[in-house]
Structure formats: structure tokens, C-alpha cells
Amino acid sequence: MTTTLPSRSCGALRLSLAAAAIATLAGCQSLQSTDGVGGMLTPYKMEIVQGNVITSEQAAGIKPGLSRAQVRDVLGSPLLADPFHAGRWDYVFAIRRQGAEPQLRRVVVLFKDDKLESIDTGGPLPAEREFITSIATFRGSGPAPSLALTEEQLKALPAPVKPPPPEPVPPAPQRSYPPLEPRS
């Protein structure tokens, strides 16, 4: 059994489809304007982070006389270690993040006889909280997250596993070889 729609229903259906198509096309024009919903839509911009973040707390932990290894433990590996200037490490940090001001910082660490001689921060460095706040693009009502672990988080960490002592290597068996030359 086949039912057919009256011609008046088909006309109403066509009219509603045409109205929907016009509304859709009109919506495309509104996306291009800066007013209304279209102004809130922005293309995605990739976040670019390069180098090491050096905070004022880290720079305060650097004192003249420290070895290269001690400086590396506090600041991390330098972005630039020039073989032609072996006594100089350059720490460069750059970030471009959508919704935050771009940042560029240069810190130069100078060594003399493999001991820290000086550190040039090029100006004041932000504290850890200031840095997190400056790059935070979320607008939550809670406090800014911290990079440090709380006491509870430290206690929840598993205890470090000590590797078993190496097994002693058995001595090589003593072998006697026949002489290479005949005995006289």
C-alpha cells in the first residue's frame, strides 16, 4: 500500500527546505563579521615553547664556585653550549601561546676553570607562580597550579627501588697450553 502526500504538503516541505537553506547561507555571512558569535571563533594557533624556563628561585640557587654539573642540576641543560666559547652557556626561553603575551628570556652563565664565575639574567626573572600566571590561558576561579609536589604527594610516591648487588664474576679457569716451540 502506497500513500502519496497531497501536493500542498510537498509545497510546504519545499518551502521549509528553502527557508532552512537561506538561513544556513545567512549564517555563513555572520561568521565572517567580528560581531556576535563569529567574533569569538578564532583559528587554532599552535603553542610554541623553546628552551628552559629559569625562575628567580632557580637563579637564587646558583652561586659562584659551583661546578658545571651542579649548575646543570639546578638549571637544566643549556640550549646553547658553543664549542668556541667553552666557558659560556646560554639558556634561552621563548613561548608563544594563544591568549597569553609572548615571552623571550636569555640567561648567560659564565664559567672560569670549570667553576661558575657569573650569571647574567638580563633583568628580573619571574617567580614560579608569576610565570604560571603569565602563561595561564584558563580563567578558572581556583588557585594557579604549582609545579612543586605537596607533602601528601611526596608521601604517596613509591619508595625508590634499590637494584640487587651485582653477582660476583667467577674467576676464569686456569688453562695450560702446550709450548709453542719444542723444548730443547
Whether residue 3 is predicted with pLDDT greater than 70 in this model: the reply is: no
Using DSSP's 3-state secondary structure scheme, residue 119 falls into strand
Q: How many CB atoms lie within 10 A of CB 154?
A: 9
- Lowest-confidence region among 9-18, 36-45, 119-128: 36-45
Whether residue 29 is predicted with pLDDT greater than 60 in this model: the reply is: no
Q: Shortest CA distance to 109 belongs to which of 97, 122, 99, 118?
A: 118
The arithmetic mean of pLDDT across residues 28-41, rounded, is 55
Question: How is residue 27 written as a grid cell?
Answer: 549564517
Phi, psi at 119, each rounded to 5° = -135, 130
Q: Shortest CA distance to 96 belongs to which of 55, 48, 138, 61?
A: 48
Are 47 and 100 within 8 A, CB to CB?
no
The arithmetic mean of pLDDT across residues 172-181, rounded, is 79
Per-residue model confidence as pLDDT tens digits over 70-127: 999 999 999 888 888 889 999 998 888 877 788 888 999 999 998 999 999 888 888 8
Are 126 and 160 within 8 A, CB to CB?
no
pTM beyond cutoff 0.75: no
- Evaluated on CA atoms 163, 165, 167, 169, the torsion sign reads positive
Are 125 and 56 within 8 A, CB to CB?
yes
Phi, psi at 116, each rounded to 5° = -60, 125
Predicted local distance difference test score (pLDDT) of residue 30: 47
Per-residue model confidence as pLDDT tens digits over 122-165: 888 888 888 888 877 665 555 656 677 888 988 898 888 888 88
Give CA–CA dist 109/114, Å, rounded: 11
Domain 48-136: give its CATH code: 3.30.1450
Residue reference for cell 497531497: 6
Predicted local distance difference test score (pLDDT) of residue 27: 57
